[in-house]
Chains A and B, each alone.
Chain A
Amino acid sequence: MKNLLRYIIARTLLTIPMLFILLTIVFAVIRIMPGDPVSAMLGGHAPEKVIEQKKEELGLNKPLIVQYGNYLWQVAHLDLGTSMIFKQKVTSAITDKLPATIELTIFGMLVTLLVGVPLGAYAADNRRSGKDYLIRLFGIVIYCIPVYWLGLMFQMIFGVWLDWFPVAGRTGARVFVSTFEQTGLYIIDTLLINDWAALWDVLMHLVLPSLTLGLVLSGIFIRLTRANMLDVLKSDYILAAEARGIRHFPVVYKHGLLNAFVPILTMMGLQVSLLMAGAVLTESTFSWPGMGRLLLERIYLRDYPTIQGVIVIFALIVAFMSLIVDIIYALIDPRVRY
């Protein structure tokens, strides 16, 4: 236990340089790029004085290094500034939208794991058979389908033609969000007030977006799982388990899959970034009011503080998730802690 704690602390400290670099890159992209945010926002015809005034208001007339310092100081205090367009703190815009993205990505990941891992394991167990080739082909093809297009096709087939699922937003028109919004995670919110009809509505809205996001990423997991399973199934402890008379299923799935899952988990940190990218596109296709939509809306409005804030949050999420993944890794694999 003590070892585990020490590992967690050490791993947390290691996140700091990564976070620092990501924050610096975000700053560089937003501030150093050609083009001046203020004149871009106010349009080319704004008088010089107005532009100067606005710049001063936003602290953009100071030397770059001072701006950079201020920016890091702000982020360290979890203050992301104020929107240039709306009289609204960037943090409050984000806390409004973040739960929607979290809900979407969790369900997307669930679909990915439920589809990708069993299929990959099954393909490895039946390697070089017709089933194996079919599953691998499915993996390659689904990987090459852009997530936004799969979303559009699902909307067309299951929304417009079959009319089984809603195609936009998180809730239907008859559900009044204000009556239950607490955490922003609608599944939890509706459960808290025991509103089953609203829960059903929320779930139905989740089906297509999470399927879209999850299926596209499942291709990667099919490959990862299959490759790792093939390695693991060759190992001596699998043979030894068979020699002890353990049945095929537990040999392959209890010993094989769990061991194959350890390296898969280490790669999951990187999959989180694909999940985030996929979420941005899925949100755009399904009008899902999350972080991705917020980012795109504010890009069209050229609201730089908000754009910067959203990207900073994405960086925080990525760093945080890779930390979490490593901790789970340490929990599963006893060898890591020592």
Chain B
Amino acid sequence: MKENVLEIKNLHVQFPIHIGTVRAVEDVSLNLRKGEVMGLVGESGCGKSTLGFSILRLLRPPGHIASGEINYHGRDICSMPQKELLELRGRNISMIFQDPLTSLDPLYTIGDQFLETLRTHEKGIKKKIALERAADMLKNLGISPNRLHEYPHQMSGGMRQRIMIGIGLILNPDLLIADEPTTALDVIVEAQFLDLLNELREKFELTIMFITHNLGVVAQASDRITVMYGGRMAETGTAEDVFADPKHPYTQGLLASVPNIKLEQPELQAMPGAPPDLVNPPPGCVFHPRCPHVMDVCKQEVPKSFQANGHMTACWLYK
């Protein structure tokens, strides 16, 4: 088995606000093995993006990591001093965001933004060398190096997202956190982007955490999948296992609500109910108010993870 790049253990993230505490991430534990793509899926507000942000400790106050560990090659990010953390960001772990239109500073050229990142991490690097490296990176991304002198507003959304990834990879990090990177792109650009991501992953030996609500994208791009619901992990396993044989009732419902050309599907089913209130989550399993197979134990006790058909499921059905 390959070594773990990232190990998250019993992570809790909370946002204290005036009406109470939002428990955005509750007791999440997962590992990212070297070279794999982990897809993190769930509906809006399930805590998947918060989880992504907490890996780089980029939570906006009052959000904070309440307890748990995030180990990057054995170093705990949660207890890391600020200076070390700043070195880690961008050099070892990079992150790209949902909206490529607003992720680049509009007042600086693309070249300036490459330069700033390089200079921050490699003190005293010559401007010429830095710009050459940026130009090389652009070639990798299929963008003409001439565009280094241009401003973000002169480029299309897809191009900006590629540039974001380029700036993210310029220092050869081994972990990339992609927070809904294709949500703002149209379908064709999305497909191109996913191909590029695959290419880069091999070239740069990347481990990727791919956060999305789009099941189609996740099926295409990931080796393993973690499904999140209400701040907790519902199910985790290889992409084939989870898609072919979903175990958690939430995953089953999620797959039944998406059109699928390949699978024989009688009709689309909307999931009844609404996502849980994370300030006052329901007792027991957070999914129980919406679950078609709800049992008494579900209303009282939080389910542990159970092995079911080769993957882990947090559901009492598989006790």
Where the two chains meet, the residues of A that have a C-beta atom closer than 8 Å to any C-beta of B are 235-237, 239-247, 250, 255, 258-259, 262, 332-335, 338
Report whether B99 and A236 are in contact in the complex, using a CB–CB cutoff of 8 Å: yes
Residues of A within 8 A of B104 (CB): 237, 240
Instruction: Verify A262–B107 contact, CB threshold 8 A.
Output: yes
- CB neighbours of B86 from chain A (8 A): 245-247
B121 lies within 8 A of A239 (CB): no
Chain A residues, CB < 8 A from B87 = 245
Q: State in angstroms the CA–CA spacing of A237 and B95 once bound together.
A: 12
Residues from chain B with a CB closer than 8 A to the CB of A243 are 56, 58, 89-90, 94-95, 97
Given A240-B97, A332-B107, A245-B88 contact (CB < 8 Å): yes
Shortest CB-to-CB span from B92 to chain A, Å, is 9
A242 touches B58 (CB 8 A): yes
Q: Which of B98, B106, B107, B167 contacts A244 (CB 8 A)?
A: B167
The answer on a CB contact under 8 Å between B94 and A244 is yes
Q: With A242-B58, A243-B89 as known contacts, state yes or no: A334 contacts B168, CB within 8 Å.
A: no
Minimum Cβ distance to chain B for residue A303 (Å): 49
Mind listing 19 A-B residue pairs with CB under 8 Å?
A237-B102, A240-B96, A240-B104, A241-B105, A241-B116, A243-B97, A244-B94, A244-B117, A245-B88, A245-B89, A245-B91, A247-B86, A247-B120, A255-B105, A259-B106, A332-B107, A334-B106, A334-B151, A335-B151
Interface centre among A236, A239, A245, A335 (most CB of B within 10 A): A245
A244-B120, A259-B107 known, 8 other contacts, Cβ within 8 Å: A240-B104, A242-B58, A243-B95, A245-B86, A246-B116, A255-B105, A258-B107, A334-B107
**Judging by beta carbons under 8 Å apart, are A240 and B106 in contact?**
no
- Determine whether the beta carbon of A240 is less than 8 Å from that of B107: no
Whether A333 lies near B90 (C-beta < 8 A) is no
Which B residues lie within 8 Å of A258 (CB)? 107
Q: Shortest 5 CB-CB distances between A and B: which pairs?
A: A245-B89, A245-B90, A244-B90, A236-B102, A243-B95
Report the Cα distance A258→B105, complex, angstroms.
10
Least CB separation from B97: chain A residue: A236
Let me know if A236 and B106 touch, CB within 8 A: no
With CB as the reference atom, state the residue of chain B lying closest to A259.
Answer: B107
Q: Give the docked Cα–Cα distance between A311 and B153 (Å).
A: 42
In the complex, which residues of chain A have a beta carbon less than 8 angstroms from the beta carbon of B144? none
A127's nearest neighbour on chain B, judged by CB, is B61
Is B175 among interface residues, defined by CB-CB distance under 8 A?
A: no
User: Chain B's nearest CB lies how many Å from the CB of A106?
Assistant: 26
Q: Are A240 and B120 in contact (CB under 8 A)?
A: no
Q: CB-CB < 8 A to B228: which residues of A?
A: none
Please measure, in the bound complex, the distance between the C-alpha atom of A250 and the C-alpha atom of B87, giving whole angstroms: 15
A contact residues around B120 at 8 Å (CB): 244-247
> Does A246 contact B117, Cβ atoms closer than 8 Å?
yes
Contacts of B117 in A (CB 8 A): 244-246
Kindly state the separation between the CA atoms of A228 and B47 in the bound complex, as whole angstroms: 29
In the complex, which residues of chain B have a beta carbon less than 8 angstroms from the beta carbon of A338? 153
Complex CA gap A235/B95 in Å reads: 15
Known A245-B90, A245-B120: A239·B58 in contact at CB below 8 Å: yes
Q: Is B103 an interface residue (CB 8 A)?
A: yes
Check: B164 CB closer than 8 A to any chain A CB: yes
B residues engaging A (CB < 8 A)? Answer: 56, 58, 86-91, 94-99, 102-108, 116-117, 120-121, 151, 153, 164, 167-168
Q: How far is the CA of A288 from the CA of B168 in the complex (A)?
A: 57
A239 to B61, CA, bound (A): 13
Q: Most chain-B Cβ atoms within 10 A of its Cβ — which of A239, A244, A258?
A: A244
Chain B hits for A237, CB < 8 A: 102-106
Contacts of B91 in A (CB 8 A): 245
Q: Which of A235, A262, A335 makes the CB contact (< 8 A) with B102?
A: A235
In the complex, A244→B104 CA distance in Å? 12
Shortest beta-carbon distance from A231 to chain B in Å = 12
Select from chain A the residue with minimum beta-carbon distance to B108.
A255
Which B residues are CB-close (under 8 A) to A262? 107
Please, how many angstroms separate the alpha-carbon atoms of A87 and B195 in the complex?
83
Residues of A within 8 A of B96 (CB): 240
Contacts of A247 in B (CB 8 A): 86, 120
With a cutoff of 8 Å between Cβ atoms, the chain A residues found around residue B58 in the complex are 239, 242-243
Distance to closest chain B CB from A2 (angstroms):
15
Complex: A247 Cα to B85 Cα, angstroms: 10
Contacts of A335 in B (CB 8 A): 106, 151, 153
Chain A residues whose C-beta falls within 8 Å of the C-beta of B167 in the assembled complex: 244
B123 to chain A, nearest CB (A): 12
A259 to B120, CA, bound (A): 20
Tell me the nearest residue of chain A to B117, going by C-beta.
Answer: A244
Q: How far is the CB of B171 from chain A (nearest CB, A)?
A: 9
CB neighbours of B94 from chain A (8 A): 243-244
Bound state CA distance, A245 and B83, in angstroms?
10
CA distance A150 to B58 in the complex (A): 45
CA of A241 to CA of B115 in the docked complex: distance in angstroms? 12
Q: Once bound together, how far apart are the Cα atoms of A189 and B87, in whole Å? A: 52
| Across-interface contacts of A236 in B (CB, < 8 A) | 97-99, 102-103
Interface centre among A237, A250, A262, A334 (most CB of B within 10 A): A237
A331 to chain B, nearest CB (A): 11
**Is A240 within 8 A of B103, CB to CB?**
yes
Residues of B within 8 A of A333 (CB): 106-107
Task: Give chain B residues whose Cβ lies under 8 Å from the Cβ of A245.
Answer: 86-91, 117, 120-121
In this complex, what residue of B is CB-closest to A338?
B153
Give A256 Cβ to nearest chain B Cβ, in Å.
Answer: 10
Q: Which residues of B contact A241 (CB under 8 A)?
A: 105, 116
The smallest beta-carbon distance between B122 and chain A, in angstroms, is 11
Give, as a whole number of angstroms, the nearest-CB distance from A335 to chain B. Answer: 5
B105 touches A242 (CB 8 A): no
Cα of A246 to Cα of B108 in the assembled complex, Å: 15
Min CB gap B97→A, angstroms: 5
Distance (Å) between the CB of B129 and the closest chain A CB? 19
